[in-house]
Amino acid sequence: MWRILRYIILLSAAGWCAVLPAQDEAEPAAEAEEQEPEKMPLYQGVLVEADAFSAVMSAVWSDRYSFEAGVRVDLRDKFFPAFEMGVAGADRTSVNGYGFKTDGVFFRIGGDYNLLKPTPPEARIQRYFLIGVRYAFSPFAYDVTDIRVDNGYWSDDVMRDYLGVRTVQHWMEVVGGLHVEVARNLYLGWGVRWKIRFGSDDTGEVSPWFIPGIGIKSIGNVGFNYTVGYKF
């Protein structure tokens, strides 16, 4: 656990160290751009990223996993239409002996806006501080097993299994984070996600404990990413 955390901390530090010199070096270039405004071509490339944080945490969690990746289209270094997808699942036995199992996919579509001034193409290091929104959904099936129904006084408890319950969960996310070019076309970034689920569970509905893309439903409203990406 501590080894993994140390790894994350080192990666984080690497990201910050890359930002600080980037600011110093990029400023003269930005000033030059102000003096000679030049229309930047609309298409500036595609950034393909994979999330290292969820991969690391999947190794830490014993009962669930999540892997995700995404692409962002760079439009004039300002607007970034984004598409992300991932796989996630859980296989959990509660302290009561209840079981929950699922494997599913999730998709997110939306866009980001770069709060930083675009750096000219000749600048050595690119950086983006992005904020954006996503619409996300996950179609998946799940099993809830070994639910004990107490019939206390009258008879032995009855066991219930709810198998293959299908659902499509929808939510939106407000995202924000920093992405820095640490080597030519190689990017590191971190981001925070605030997840707002649409709708609520009906009374008596066999609702999922874990939602791919959200995580554990009761605590999964904030997410974190540490991404490694390449810009084509």
Partner 1 sequence: MLACVLLLAACKEDEQCRMERYVRLYAGFYQMNLNAASGERTEGRLYVDTLSVQGMGLDGYIYDRVPRKDSVQLVLNNQADVSEFVLTFEDTLRQQVVADTLSVYYRRTESYLSFECGCLYTFTLDTALTRSTRHFIDSIVINSIEVNTANVENIKIYHTP
List of residues contacting partner 1 (CB under 8 A) = 1, 5, 8-9, 12, 53, 57, 60, 92, 94-96, 98, 100, 144, 147-155, 158, 160, 162, 190, 192, 203-207, 209, 216, 218-219, 222, 224
Pairing of strands 127-149, 43-51: unpaired
Q: Which is nearer to partner 1, 77 or 213 (CB)?
A: 213
Residue located via tokens 């995202």: 175
> Do residues 108 and 85 touch, judged by C-beta distance below 8 A?
yes
Distances from the Cα of 219 to the Cα of 15, 30, 66, 176, angstroms: 27, 42, 15, 20
Q: Residue 52: in which H helix or E strand, if any?
A: helix 52-60
- Burial track 193-205 (b if 16+ CB lie within 10 A, e otherwise): bebebeeeeeeee
Nearest distance, CB of residue 210 and partner 1, angstroms:
9
Q: Which is nearer to partner 1, 39 or 166 (CB)?
A: 166
User: Cβ 105 to partner 1, closest distance in Å?
Assistant: 21
Residue 89 φ/ψ, nearest 5 degrees? -165, 175
Which residue lies nearer to partner 1 by CB, 19 or 116?
Answer: 19
Name which of 74 and 191 has its Cβ closer to partner 1. Answer: 191
Contact 101, 129 (CB under 8 A): no
Could you tell me the smallest distance in angstroms from the CB atom of residue 32 to partner 1? 32
Q: What's the min distance (Å) between Cβ of 206 and partner 1? A: 4
**Of 109 and 145, CB closest to partner 1:** 145
Distance CA(221)–CA(169), nearest Å, equals 14
* CB-based burial label for 164 (10 Å; 0-12, 13-18, 19+): exposed
**Minimum distance from residue 100 beta carbon to partner 1 (Å):** 6
CB of 149 to partner 1, least distance (A): 6
Query: Which CB sits closer to partner 1, 7 or 43?
Result: 7
Query: Would you call 154 helix, strand, or coil by DSSP?
Result: coil
Smaller CB distance to partner 1: residue 168 or 219? Answer: 219
CB of 144 to partner 1, least distance (A): 7
